[in-house]
Amino acid sequence: MRITTTRKEFIFLNDSLVLTPSLKQVLAFLEDSAGATSVENYDLHFKVKSITTELLTNGFKHSHANTINILVDIDSNHVIIQKYDTGPPVNFSKSAPVIGKVQLSYDIMCRLFGTYKDEHNVTFSIEECADDEIPDIESITEHFGLLIIAKCADEFTYRYDADNSLNLFTAVINLPAA
C-alpha cells in the first residue's frame, strides 16, 4: 500500500447527536487515504475507529467548547489523529498537580499512567495487569476512554496551549514498513 502525505481537518459542532456522522466522515477519509478499510486492514481500521470514537466522545462530553476539531495527518510511516478544542485545561489527576508518573485508571487488563512534564503536558502509557489482580470497580475512573486510546496508539499525549487556550490530544499510529 503506497500512501502519499495527506492532511484533513474536520470541524464538528459540539453536539452529541452528530457523534456517529462525525465518526463516519473521519473513517471515510481514512479509508480513502490510508487503506484503513475493515476488510483490507482490520487492525488499522480498529485502532483508528477506537481512537477517533474516544476523542470525539471526550470532546462532546467534556470540552464545553462550541466545536470539536479533528486533524488527521497521514504519511507512509504514521497516521496522526489530533483532537483540539478551546475548553478549559484538563486535570486528569484528582490530586494536586504533580510532575512524574501517576496512575490514572485501570481495568481488568491494564493500568493507565500519565507522565507529567508539567500540569498541562502529559504522555500516556499502559502497563498490563498481573493475571491474578482483581480491580476495585468503584475506583475505575472517568479516564477509561483515555486507556482505550493509549492501548490503540503507539504514542498518545495531551498538551494545553495556554497562549491559544487549546486542549490538544495527539494519537500516533505507526504503520508497518512497506
42-82 pLDDT, tens digit per residue, is 788 889 889 998 898 888 877 788 888 999 999 888 999 99
Of 110, 94, 97, 95, nearest to 149 (Cα)?
Answer: 110
Cell of 26: 473521519
**Residue 163 DSSP symbol:** T
- Grid cell listed for 85: 478544542
Highest mean pLDDT among 14-28, 38-52, 89-103, 154-168: 154-168
Average pLDDT, the chain: 82
Over residues 11-29, mean pLDDT: 85
pLDDT at residue 178 in the model: 63
CA-wise closest residue to 88 among 16, 156, 160:
160
Local confidence band at 151 (pLDDT 50, 70, 90 cut-offs): very high
Q: ∠ CA 19-125-146 to the nearest 5 degrees?
A: 20
Give residue 135's pLDDT. 56
* Domain 6-83+160-174, architecture per CATH: 2-Layer Sandwich (3.30)
pLDDT-derived band at 20, boundaries 50, 70, 90: confident
Q: How far lies 178's CA from each of 1, 31, 44, in Å?
A: 7, 17, 14
pLDDT band at residue 149 using 50, 70 and 90 as cut-offs: very high
More confident call, 38 vs 164: 164
Q: Grid coordinates representing 116?
A: 507529567
pTM of the model: 0.80
Integer Cα distance of 174 and 3 in angstroms: 13
**9: its cell numbers:** 481537518
Domain extent listing, the chain: 6-83+160-174
Beta partners for residue 69, in sequence order? 11, 84
Q: What is the pLDDT of residue 2?
A: 45
pLDDT in tens, 99-123: 888 888 777 677 888 898 888 889 9
Q: What was the pLDDT predicted at 1?
A: 44
